[in-house]
A and B are shown apart, each in its own frame.
Chain A
Amino acid sequence: MLEMLLHPQNLDLVYFCTLGVFFSAFVSLLPALHIYNVLGIFMMFILSYENTMTGMQLVSMSTGMVVGYSILNTVPATYFGPGDESLSYYILPSAHWVAMGRGYESVILTGMGALGGLILLAACAPLFLHILPGLKAITSPHMFWILGAVIAYMLLSEWPKGVSQSRSTWVNFREGWSFLLVGLATFFLSGLLGFIVLSKTMVPIEFAFQSITPVFVGLFAIPWLITNIINAGVIPHQHECESIDLTWELYFRGLFGGYLGGFFAAFIPIVTAGVGGLMAGHATAQRDGRLFVMSYGTCKTVYYVGSFLLFFIPGLSLTRGGLAWIVTPVMTFLTIKEYVLFIGVMLFAAGLSFMMLMPFTRACIRLVRVIDYHWISVVAMGIIIPMTYWFTGWGGIAIMTVATGLGLLPVLFQARRMNLMGVLLLPVAINMAGYGQEVTRFLRLV
């Protein structure tokens, strides 16, 4: 693999991959901005100039970007706020570490998990050639109910907090169920928004590929930035540890759990790393805080990169995740050579990104030390709203505003943010089951 990668005719791939990693570091610095949105715009630009890059060069750059983003975005997400659901699942425990001055340790743990996940992904790559075609054949006719099961478990596994200590059982019951009802309302209202956006988008046609962007900006990014801005707390001094308190046993347990969750999310359409991580965490009975943080790093990286890897498996034709859809127009013919090259480029990007992680984290820590993070959030908001307007117009701003209202629900009522994924899970599961048209007609969307 190394020989193939370092062959003079392929060295350009290393160059483009390096560019992608550096570009992802820049994108990661912009809080709440998702790499897929940037890549979408980037692709639009590239495709307008024929012969600018070859297909494999674009793949290398995209791989560098997605690997770099999946490893480096933990840093700004930890200190400034998450850009999507896969990140917000990690953010609450991570915020706890930051509050203890251990944000640096949390980021490094996540990075170790991410690196381990990518190495394991590469190690499993030959197995995928044999296992995944069979797995696809078995599960393809059943995807809709698998999504249904994921939804059912997400909703059923949210337990009441039960903090009320009233002598009246009904008061306690009402208090316990208020959290659950907010969760259910969030899920179904998000689902309704998803139906509307997917059936009748208000985004200009030339930016149709960005039609979901205002939804995600509203559901995840803006509520977090608002929370940051109104938060009265300050980020305490962050300790830059020299070693990590982690045993190999714990490392492999976290890696295993995270890998399962990430692979599940990568393989099943619409399921994100947050949902996959929740299920894998429950399946492997994770309890240790370090395990969770590290395993999260594995989960989200395997999800982002794994879904892209599935695209390169010859003969499988699995297009999962935004990136695979983005490169589909330029990669029409895939052989084992492209698959091996992809694995090589992925490992190179993983090593480079991991080496950049520590200086990048230190830079972010210095940034929050110098500039109040409230102002960073204000600036981020000042970037993200005009960008949404620029690409999606007033229609996008309207969608973003509604989504922000929904995104604030779990923040205000301390319910799971994951329920916001109803925006995609519900319409896609119903469409896959074949009831989509009935629902859109019932909602008078057609």
Chain B
Amino acid sequence: MKGFTHFISGIAVASFFPQAVHMASQEQSFILCLGGIFDILPDTLDFKFARFFHVSEFEVRPDPRKLDAFEIASTVAASMEKAKKDGRSTVQLHTMQLGSNLWQSYVLGFDAKTSEVVVDIGPLVDTGQVPYDGTEPKEKASARVKVSCTFFQEFDKKSNIAIMSGPCFEFIKRDEKRVEIVFLPWHRTWSHSATLGIFTAIVVGAATYFVIPDGPHQALYSLHRWMVYPLIIFFGSMVHIVEDSTGFMGNNLFWPFTADRTRGLGFMSAAEAIPNFFFVWTSVICILFNLDRNRWAPEAFPSGIGSYESFFFWLYVLPCAIMLYFFLKGKHEKAAKKAGSGDVESSNDFDSATSEKETDASII
């Protein structure tokens, strides 16, 4: 999901705590922001820290002066062979920057039917990934390298490697013959685990227990004030994991007790507009409803929402029905297009060129 989707969902979660809403409106506390910050934190940890410290055994550093697709495919194949032998192996593919706004593109694919690593060197592109036609190399531009094992992957799609940083793959031996291809092995592991959420909540809870006293009107609430902080943090980070699980790439929920990421439920792609907006809109409605329901002194200040039934019908049920209509329409059109072209590879847009073009890294 998009970073913004996570962020606003975290705020929505925090708004379910009446004490937090009262703290915000009566004591000028920023506590509701805490939910948003901790909801986006798993991606922050991955893309601002973990990615830099992941070390791959194999690296593909193509030389733009001596482009050779075979060399690239061979390095990836060698990594797969090592995984078959030793159980695991990783490969990092680097981009080729030729100028401040000029990059050499290439495409990596895994052909499961023929057990081949496929590399095609593409045209020069600018940072917006707009290709310069006719700049594709004439020689050594395509290569296929066979590996001695069969393989499968969550996202059966080519990777367009062009701008900024290139992707990383991990190959994991699942049984004697089969190797699994894992995209971005450093992503959605420890940072996207319930374990980290619980640990963070315990640490924060221990600190707030000693530092945060009960506020005024404590009798109104069932929770002590010190408990509200760790609970918002915990539920905020959990919502991130739940939202991510609806996509294709899952999470490593019980790291370090489980070694690998689970598969996602595959309901939607993380980059799709309607699912993202559905979560955003749901969060907005929850926030408005909770701010109104939990307003301070309701007998003195009238509700901003005249009728809750009307509010939910006109502002939630109706927009959701419209979103569902367009979502299903899009799915049907995509399925019809796929059936018409017989193109199996384009069935999943996760790892496509459009994914590479994303400005918001957190959706990956």
Residues of A within 8 A of B (CB): 93, 96, 100, 133-139, 141-142, 144-145, 148-149, 152-153, 156-157, 159-163, 165, 167, 169, 172-173, 176-177, 180, 253, 279, 282-287, 289, 433-435
Instruction: Assess whether A177 is in contact with B277, with CB atoms less than 8 Å apart.
Output: no
* B23-54 near A? 1/0 per residue, CB < 8 Å: 01100111011001100100010011101111
**Hey, which chain A residues are within 8 Å of B37, CB to CB?**
152, 156
State the Cβ distance, A267 to closest chain B Cβ, in Å. Answer: 12
Interface on chain A toward B: helix, strand, loop, or mixed SS? helix
- Is there an interface contact between A285 and B164, defined as CB atoms closer than 8 Å? no
CB distance from A292 to the nearest CB of B (A): 10
Q: Is the CB of B25 within 8 A of A169?
A: no
Whether A162 contacts B51 by the Cβ 8 Å rule is yes
User: Can you name 7 A-B residue pairings with CB atoms under 8 Å?
Assistant: A149-B7, A152-B37, A159-B361, A163-B165, A169-B55, A176-B48, A285-B363
**Across the interface, which residues of B come within 8 angstroms of A169, CB to CB?**
52-55
In the bound assembly, the distance between CA atoms of A161 and B271 in angstroms comes to 19
- What is the distance, in angstroms, from A189's C-beta to the closest C-beta of chain B? 21
Closest 4 CB pairs of A and B: A282-B4, A137-B304, A138-B304, A134-B304
Partner of B2, one of A133, A144, A285, A289: A285
Please give the distance in Å from B327's CB to the nearest CB on chain A: 12
Identify B3's interface contact among A135, A136, A137, A157, CB under 8 A: A157
A388 to B59, CA, bound (A): 55
B276 at the interface (CB under 8 A from A): yes
B269 → chain A closest CB, angstroms: 10
Residue positions of B touching A, CB distance < 8 A: 2-5, 7-8, 11, 24-25, 28-30, 32-33, 36-37, 40, 44, 47-49, 51-55, 59, 61, 94-95, 97, 126, 128, 130, 164-165, 271-273, 276-277, 280, 288, 291-292, 295-296, 301-306, 354, 357-358, 360-363
Minimum distance in angstroms from B306 CB to a CB of chain A: 7
A93 to B357, CA, bound (A): 13
Judging by beta carbons under 8 Å apart, are B52 and A172 in contact? yes
User: Which residue on B lies nearest to A279, using beta carbons?
Assistant: B4
A137 to chain B minimum Cβ distance, whole angstroms, is 4
Is the CB–CB distance between A433 and B277 below 8 Å?
no
**Contacts A141-B25, A161-B164, A282-B360 given; 14 further ones with Cβ under 8 A?**
A139-B291, A145-B32, A148-B33, A149-B11, A156-B37, A157-B7, A162-B51, A169-B54, A173-B52, A177-B48, A279-B4, A285-B2, A285-B272, A289-B128
Q: Which of chain A's residues have a CB closer than 8 A to the CB of B357?
A: 287
What residues of chain B lie closer than 8 Å to A282, measured between beta carbons? 2-5, 360
Given A159-B362, A433-B28, A138 and B292 contact (CB-CB distance below 8 Å): yes
Contact of B61 among A136, A137, A165 (CB under 8 A): A165
| Nearest-neighbor residue (CB-CB) of A432 within chain B | B28
Chain B residues positioned under 8 Å from A180 (CB to CB): 48
Q: With A152-B33, A173-B53 as known contacts, state yes or no: A283 contacts B48, CB within 8 Å.
A: no
* With A144-B28, A149-B33, A176-B52 as contacts: A138 and B288 at CB distance below 8 Å: yes
Q: Inside 8 A of A173's CB, which chain B residues have their CB?
A: 49, 52-53
B105 to chain A, nearest CB (A): 15
Q: Establish whether residues B291 and A142, one from each chain, have CB atoms under 8 Å apart when the complex forms.
A: yes
A157 touches B28 (CB 8 A): no
Chain A residues within an 8 Å CB radius of B301: 137
Q: Which B residues lie within 8 Å of A289 (CB)?
A: 128
Q: A144-B28, A152-B36, A162-B165 are contacts. A283–B291 as well, Cβ < 8 Å?
A: no
| Distance between Cα atoms of A253 and B25 in the complex (Å) | 35
- When distances are taken between beta carbons in the complex, the residues of chain A under 8 Å from B61 are 165
Residues in A with CB closer than 8 Å to B295 are 138, 141
A285 and B270 CA atoms in complex are apart in Å by 9
Which residues of chain A have C-beta atoms less than 8 A from B304's C-beta?
133-138
- Chain A residues lying within 8 Å of B130, measured Cβ to Cβ, are 100
